[in-house]
Amino acid sequence: MSPQQKRMGGLGKLSDFGRTPPVPQEQPIPPETPVESKRIRPLDDNTIKSLESNPITSKPKELVTVNIKISRTQQDWLSDTARQVRDNNTSPVPPSERVYPQHLIQVAVDLLQNADLDWSQIRNVEELKQHLNL
């Protein structure tokens, strides 16, 4: 082993790190084996009633990132409130169910969407606040 390989743990020359490795030759994809067809039984009345009483929820909504500006006090309130909601749990909560400020903002948007307002009459934020009694 050369002295350079000993120092670098056998990793080669420093100039080799920026190079892309050679592309391996493509191997042909083997044809798929046919899947044995399965018989599908018709749904009986009990299964249909069960499906109707437990409707399948729609696909999760696609989330997009929105950059918003809020006051420092609003940011502090969101953080404190989300922390309080998390602390209300006496047992551990899976990460996917924990409440963070973004979830409070999502709920606020839902509240606005469901507010009984004539949006064609709202001209600015102050009017919106007045209609919401804020």
Q: Quick one: tokens of 77? A: 């309130």
Domain chopping of the chain, boundaries? 72-87+97-131
Check whether 4 has a pLDDT greater than 60: no
Residue 49 pLDDT grade (very low, low, confident, very high; cuts 50, 70, 90):
low
| pLDDT score of 74 | 96
Reported as half-sphere exposure (CB side, CA atoms, 13 A), residue 50 has a value of 5
pTM recorded for the entire structure:
0.53
Q: What is the pLDDT of residues 23-36, one digit of tens each?
A: 555 555 555 545 44
Check whether 43 has a pLDDT greater than 80: no
Separation of alpha carbons 4 and 15, rounded Å: 13
Residue 85 pLDDT grade (very low, low, confident, very high; cuts 50, 70, 90):
very high
